[in-house]
Amino acid sequence: MRRSGRAGRSARIRSRRRGSTRREAEHAALIEGFRDACLASDIAELARLLGPEVRVVVDSGGAEGAPGPAAGITAAVTLLRVALGAPAGLRLDLRSVNGRPGLLASRDGRPTAVVVVEGRRGLVEGVWLVTDAGKLRHW
């Protein structure tokens, strides 16, 4: 039996919120796994988290010699390693980025990148790294 009126609408809203909360928790777990794999330099785990069609884009503010976009697991892992640098001294802190969970990469207390990870079905489909110093000033 389908509810009608206000009670039905309230039930549908609660159901959507539960689904949204579950998706947010899954996304947060994916970001944490991504962070942990990057910090441990665990290439196999990082590759396992990436979807087959993953894309990585680096916004360097047009810096000359900046790494370009990458598509596919192997290219994505390589670009992530180049853009984030060696894990020694790297911090990846969970932060809200545009209202969604993201990562703030820093070294010696200075921000080096803001990382946004987009995923679906438990796999990373896209990674956007902002490394432009001008855009990192407020972090």
CA 29 to CA 91: how far, in whole Å?
A: 18
pLDDT band at 120 (very low <50, low <70, confident <90, very high): confident
Encode 111-130 in three state secondary structure.
Answer: EEEEEEEEEECCEEEEEEEE
Give the pLDDT of residue 136.
92
What kind of fold does domain 5-136 have according to CATH? Nuclear Transport Factor 2; Chain: A, (3.10.450)
Query: CB under 8 Å to 86, separation ≥6 — which residues?
Result: 41
Say yes or no to pLDDT of 5 above 80.
no
> What mean pLDDT is reported for the chain?
87
Length reported for the chain:
139
Say yes or no to pLDDT of 86 above 60.
yes
CA 116 to CA 104: how far, in whole Å?
A: 9
Give the pLDDT of residue 128.
95
The predicted model gives 44-65 an average pLDDT of 91
Q: Which two tokens stand for residue 98?
A: 């545009």
Where in the chain are the domains? Answer: 5-136
> Worst-scoring range by mean pLDDT, 1-5, 36-40, 87-91, 93-97?
1-5
The closest alpha carbon to 56, from 46, 44, 45, 65, belongs to 46
CA 94 to CA 32: how far, in whole Å?
A: 8
pLDDT band at 23 (very low <50, low <70, confident <90, very high): confident
